[in-house]
A and B are shown apart, each in its own frame.
Chain A
Amino acid sequence: MTRVLRWDVLVGALLVAVFAAGSLAVPGFATTGNLSFALGDLGEIALIALAMTLLVVAAEVDLSVASVLGLSSALVGALWDAGLAIETIIPLVVLVGAVCGLVNGLLVTRLGLPSLAVTIGTLALYRGLAYVVLGDKAVAQFPPAYTALAVGDVPGTPVPYPVALFALLAVVTGVVLHATGFGRALYAIGAQEQAAFFAGIRVKRIKLLLFVLSGTVAAFAGVVFTLRYGSARADNGLGVELAVIAAVLLGGVDFDGGKGTLGGVIAGVLLIGLLRNLLMLGDVSTEIQSIVTGLLLIVSVLTPRLVSLVRPALKGTP
């Protein structure tokens, strides 16, 4: 693709267009308060999308992230109920998330199972565990100092803390993906796994690491989610994996691996966030919001394929 027509640039342009249209058409959209809220509402999706980007570039996927988020939330509630200090709970829960990721990774790398199937299985499994841990009750009343961290803004800015953390991690992820040998290895694995292995890249070890990372980040997102809503529930974050994957694919990462940029994914995340916010401001029901997410997912997978089918026909070359 030419520079101008690159998918991630297109998504960036679309983002600007949606923002402009929203500002003109929807009252109360382009206010600092609303945008700050919209960003904050996006925090968990954005965090998880970073790890997911690395996985999808390497031609793998983790569908269990929302369930890990839910399990993490349920654990926070149960352990808080049991009287543990929040300072103990957070590292413990994040560790459980790492183990969840490790299980996914081992099933994929040691047994050679497709990650799509494995993580559909653990999607159900981890969500089930969340209900085992907390049942259908809700735990609330977390220390205000921590809930304030989850909803509060960085002093002097309208940027919520989780979003600031996302910005920091996004820079790190961007450097890792685009400028380090590790990042190069991910693209090679995603594009041609055999050739990567033949070049001495430790394919299995890297994939295992990615799954552990994904589980860890999802569990941490669960902590943020719980504190932000001030409520630990087993069904927290239901369906978040779809929003994450929609954002990653919308950002131009090829589901078959080997292609995509982090910049595109960030644009994709923001676009999804803006659309959700606009729909919410327009009092559109959650069912319709779900329909929009689903359509976006399909469109973002379909469009590049259509383009690659149509382009040669237009050029008249094979």
Chain B
Amino acid sequence: MGAHPTLALAGVSKSFGAVRALRDVSIELYAGEAHALAGENGAGKSTLVKTLAGVHRPDQGVILLDGEPVVLTGPADAQQAGVAVIYQEPTLFPDLSVAENIFMGRQPRRSLGRIDRAAMRAQTRELFGRLGVDLDPGRPTRGLSIADQQLVEIAKALSRDARVLIMDEPTAALSGAETARLFSVVEALREHGCAILFISHRLDEIFALCQRVTTLRDGQWIASEPVAGLTHDDLVRRMVGRDLGALYPKQDAAVGDVALKVERLTREGVFTDVSFEVRRGEIVALAGLVGAGRSEVARAIFGIDRWDAGTVTVAGRELPPGSPTAAMGAGLALVPEDRRQQGLVMEMSIERNIGLTGLRSLRRGATISRRAERDRAADWAARLRLKFARLGDGVGVLSGGNQQKVVLAKWLATEPSVLVVDEPTRGIDVGTKAEVHRLLSELAGQGIAVLMISSDLPEVLGMADRVLVMREGRLTAEIPRAEATEESVMHAATRRAA
């Protein structure tokens, strides 16, 4: 280990608008060391990676290369400095060969600028030899598994003499054997003196691969420490431990009949055998990691995607698969994950967005009553305390929190009996977040059944009467409010095999 870390961040802060993604974060990556970056969804891991990769420039603090402050003006600059990033889903040119992808833009030349294919292949073979990988340099990358594509990316990084290799959730889409092969490659690189930054939600992988770990929470640095001596529970506590406070006002509501019943719901390759019910007056949280299949279950229940097996019953009526119209008719509402693509028509006005779910009920004769449309919008805007100038303004001018209120208004105006909300407070300010929580609590009090998908653990624990946990497409735990803790939920969400 050299005196200086190969690459380091010192006191880095980065904000996007009002959102402070990183606050005074420091990390040091040493040659010959695999360093893990741990944290919940939204803790700032991606921002940190993008800062190291030259995509974002820090608002405050410095990047140090071999102990010297540097300014990375862009990804190309970072590459020049020897920093390579391997993303979860590599972006290769599918119709070019493996070798051509590796040497894209830096092909070995013969006279008259012709590309020396033989040399390119030979060098590729030599790179794969160093990595201990068996891939044909001449084949096109189309059709390669994600694991093989990552190896091509790693070979590319190696061919550029990368000294720092950043891997952003490389194992998320890999099988066990593929992960093992990746680990042996990473091990080889580390022994050659590479500094590795490794990100994974699977804590056992961190323990298996890394020597040090830095934990982030809410954009803040929590700890940097050797992995040896830490337990699984220690790490989880660093990732999630924080005071809950009284931010989450879920009041006890009278629990009524079963409003939503999901039985053995399966969509092949996405989720399997999911069964649960939500009663009137209940808020049930669906927790788990990103990619565990939570949003996919919500989409299927609402009819956006079809399911292959199982049943969904709303208030005693069985829903046909793949029909949002039928789901709405049965009293279901879905506030989707992606506000800008799925929740709102950004080019339309506030009132028209709110009216979009009521095109039938706003009818007077054959045409839509603009007055009824405006009244509906004005009514819900007032109830949700929407901040706006004119109802005829485009929703695009509103803040994220107010846009979310428009989505909620649009769905509450359908007077649903079951409300499914997917990440209802993601990317909105703390004040509006509390308002949304109060609203969900009130709705439950009025006898609506609420199913809430959230990656925000304090929100899950503060709001939910019961917590369902999904991992890799399956429901792995159902935890009553009294027993739900950050540790128990995270444990159910991350544990690899029972």
Contacts and interface: CB of A to CB of B under 8 A. Distances in A.
Interface of A: 175, 179-182, 184-185, 187-188, 191-192, 194-202, 258-259
A185 B344 CA distance: 13
A175 B341 CA distance: 28
Given A191-B347, A191-B348, A197 B324 contact: yes
Interface in B302-352: 302, 304, 324-325, 327-328, 334, 336, 338, 341-348, 352
Contacts of A175: 366-367
Nearest to B360: A181
Contacts of B357: 199-200
A187 B353 CA distance: 11
A200 B302 CA distance: 9
B355 interface: yes
A287 B332 CA distance: 58
Interface in B381-405: none
Contacts of A187: 345, 348
A71 B334 CA distance: 46
Contacts of A194: 338, 341-342
Given A191-B346, A192-B344, A259-B347, A199 B356 contact: yes
Nearest to A182: B359
A195 to B, nearest CB: 5
B347 A202 contact: no
A35 to B, nearest CB: 33
Which has the most chain A C-beta neighbours within 10 Å: B327, B359, B366?
B359
Interface in B355-387: 355-357, 359-360, 362-363, 366-368
Given A198-B336, A259-B347, A181 B359 contact: yes
Contact of B367 (A179, A195, A259): A179
Contacts, number: 69
B217 interface: no
A101 to B, nearest CB: 23
10 closest cross-chain pairs (CB), A and B:
A181-B359, A179-B367, A192-B345, A200-B328, A191-B347, A199-B356, A200-B324, A198-B342, A191-B345, A195-B345
Interface string B127-152: 00000000000000000000000000
A284 to B, nearest CB: 40
B471 interface: no
B341 A184 contact: no
B341 A200 contact: no
Nearest to B333: A200
Nearest to B346: A192
A198 B343 contact: yes
Given A180-B366, A181-B363, A258-B347, A192 B410 contact: no
B362 A181 contact: yes
A197 B299 CA distance: 11
B355 to A, nearest CB: 7
Contacts of A201: 356, 359
A195 B324 contact: no
A179 B370 CA distance: 8
B345 A196 contact: yes
A185 B324 CA distance: 15
B21 to A, nearest CB: 21
A175 B327 CA distance: 29
- Which of B327, B345, B355, B357 has its CB near the most chain A CB atoms (within 10 A)? B345
Given A195-B343, A200-B325, A202-B325, A184 B366 contact: no
A191 B346 CA distance: 8
Contacts of A181: 359-360, 362-363, 368
A197 B334 CA distance: 12
Contact of B368 (A184, A200, A258, A259): A184
26 contacts: A175-B367, A179-B367, A180-B363, A180-B366, A180-B367, A180-B368, A181-B359, A181-B363, A184-B352, A184-B356, A184-B359, A187-B345, A188-B348, A191-B346, A192-B341, A194-B342, A195-B344, A195-B356, A197-B324, A199-B356, A199-B410, A200-B324, A200-B325, A200-B357, A201-B356, A202-B325
